[in-house]
A and B are shown apart, each in its own frame.
Chain A
Amino acid sequence: MATDDLTLVKRVRGGDQRAFKLLVERYQRKVYAVALGMLKDKEEAMDVSQEAFVKVYKYLDHFKGDASFYTWLYRITVNICIDIIRKRAGAGGEAVEFDETMPMDVSEANIGALGSRLGTNPQKSALRRELAEKIQEALAAVPEKHRAILLLREVEGMSYEDLSRTLDIPKGTVMSRLFHARAKVQKILSQYLELDEAKSGVGSE
C-alpha cells in the first residue's frame, strides 16, 4: 500500500528528501499532461512541470493540510501555465476571452457523430488514435481558464468540488466552464470528422 500524500508531505517537512522524490514520481505524468494540454509545447510543458514541483517544494510550508496535496500541486501548475499564456498574449499572441453568458454553440448536424463513430468499438481504434492526436489542437482553441478545468477533470478525474477548490471558483462556474469547454472541443473534433468523411467520400466506415 502506497504511503498517502499527506504522510509524505510531513516527511518532507521533517527533512526527508526521498519522500519528496516519491511525490514527484507519483504526479509527474499527470502534471506534465496538464501542462502539455495547457501549453501545447512539449519542451515548455516539461519546464513548467519541473518548475511546478520546485515551487511546491519551496513553498511546502505554506501548504495547509486542509486541502489535498494534489489540488495544491495542480493549482500551482495551472497558474504557471496561465502566466506563460498571458506573457505569450502580451508578446503578440491572441488572448481569447470567453463570455460565460454567450449562447451555446452546438452544431446540430453532427449530434451523435462522435459518439457513434467512436463508440467503444475497438475496431475503430485507428480513428480514435487519429482524433486523439487532434486533441491538443482542439484544446488550444479553448480559452485558458476553461482549458484548465477540462484538463483537470479529464486527467485527474477531479470532482467538481475539488475543481472549485483548486481553481478558487464557485461550483456553478466549474459546471458552466466545463460545459463550454467541451462544446468547443466537440465542435472542432466534429469539423475534423466532417472533413474526414468528405475526404473519404463515405458517410460511415
Chain B
Amino acid sequence: MKKELNLFDKPENVRRFLICFFISLVMLIGAEFFIHKHPGFPWESSLGFFAVYGFVSNVLLIFIAKLLRLIVLRKEKYYDQ
C-alpha cells in the first residue's frame, strides 16, 4: 500500500507555504521598479495598481456574491416541488 500524501496536514508546511506566498507578493511589488512600462491607460503606471485592483476586485466579488445569495439561494429540491 502506497503511503498517502499528507503535505498539508502538518502545520509547519502550511506555514512555509504561506511565507513563500507572502514573499512572492512583496517581490511582485518590488519588481515594478525594474521594468519598463508602456501603459494603455494612465493609471497603469502607478505603483501597485494591479495589486490593489486584484485585491479589491476579489473582496468586491465576495461581497456582491453574498448579497446575491440573499436573492437567489434556494433548496436543492426547489425545482422538484
Is chain B a partner of chain A in the same complex?
Answer: no
Q: Please list the residues of chain B having a beta carbon within 8 angstroms of any beta carbon in chain A.
A: none
Q: Please list the residues of chain A having a beta carbon within 8 angstroms of any beta carbon in chain B.
A: none
